[in-house]
Amino acid sequence: MKRYVDLHVKPRSEEDVHDILETALKLGYKAIGLVIDSIYSQLVEEYNGLKILKRIDVDAKLDDLRKYRVRLSRKYDIVSAICRDSSDIRRALKCGFNIICFKGLPSTPKITDFSLIKYSEAYLELDLCDLLSFNEDERIMVFRSIARIFRYASRKDAKLILASGAVDSYKLRAPLDLASMVLPAGVTWFEALTAAVYNPSIFFSYMIRKSMGYVSEGVRIVRRW
């Protein structure tokens, strides 16, 4: 059985959290990454079998980025870096971020960004929530950049993740529907499926292993002091 995971959901209020969790269960998700702040710190780890991953987004422009990552990774399951340009991506990768997210969908992605990601274990994440609210002209621009992102990613073997980036339950999409949202950009069904279903699932299983002490192949944490 496939494990569907949506790694990026950004509820606006506490009422939205409950609504989003109910809808995610209906849509068949097994785990969901919720961007939460201290208000919802009482959030449970599981909701009727739906695993909740606490997530926080950090601006890659911040000073002491590495310190932030180390400190926050004790408290949150996913710590992602929000990047605006290549220098941000470089900084985020140096500081050991696993998920790199663009601030909005980039209009002109560069192939050098993907070369940087190629040699790391990081995933590049695209939020598709904005696509629903854009008008036709904006959407055309975004489709063009999505096509470029997928082309560059396949050329450089960079790993992509598609997330809904939903702010309320109406913006959530079922896993296969989420994959189909990038098809108008000329992306193949296999590429879309890999980014929307397989890569998030691999990342999720990596996180589970990491929580059990896994560091890398052959290396495992046996004791902390």
Partner 1 sequence: MKVLGSLEGGRVIPLKTIRRRYILIELVKSSMHIDAKHIVSELKRSLLRLYGEYGLSLADIHPIEYGSSYLVISCDHRMLQQVRSAIAYLDRISGIDVLLCVSSVSGTLKKLRMRMRFT
User: With respect to partner 1, which residue has the nearer C-beta, 89 or 187?
Assistant: 187
CA atoms within 13 A on the CB side of 158: 28
Binds partner 1 (CB under 8 A): choice among 83, 89, 178, 197: 178
- Given CA atoms 188, 172, 109, 60 in this order, what sign does their dihedral have? negative
| Residue entry with tokens 């208000």 | 39
Find the shortest distance in angstroms from Cβ 149 to partner 1: 17
- Interface residue with partner 1 among 14, 67, 141, 170 (CB under 8 A) is 170
Q: Which helix (H) or strand (E) holds 8?
A: strand 5-9
Does 184 contact partner 1 by CB under 8 A?
A: yes
Which residues inside 32-51 make contact with partner 1, applying CB under 8 A?
Answer: none
Asked whether the beta carbons of 148 and 109 are under 8 A apart, the reply is: yes
What are the φ and ψ backbone dihedral angles of 213, each rounded to 5 degrees?
A: 100, 5
Task: Please select the residue that binds partner 1; options are 2, 18, 26, 155, rule is CB under 8 A.
Answer: 26
Q: Whole-angstrom distance between the N-terminal and C-terminal Cα of the chain?
A: 38
**CA Rg, the chain, in Å?**
17
Name the residue among 4, 50, 57 with its Cα closest to residue 25: 50
Asked if 140 is part of the footprint of partner 1 (rule: CB under 8 A), the reply reads no
Member of 5, 17, 27, 100 binding partner 1 (CB under 8 A): 27
Element (H, E) at 19: helix 14-26
Answer for which of 189, 205, 209, 213 binds partner 1 (CB under 8 A) is 189
SS3 57: strand
Sites for partner 1 among residues 119-138 (CB under 8 A): 131-132, 136
Nearest CB to partner 1, comparing residues 119 and 189 = 189
Among 10, 51, 159, 173, binds partner 1 (CB under 8 A): 173
CB of 132 to partner 1, least distance (A): 5
Among 171, 194, 195, 203, contact with partner 1 (rule: CB under 8 A): 171
Q: How far is the CB of 124 from partner 1 (least distance, A)?
A: 21
CB 27 within 8 A of CB 183: no
Chain positions contacting partner 1, by CB under 8 A: 23, 26-27, 131-132, 136, 169-174, 176-178, 180-181, 183-184, 189
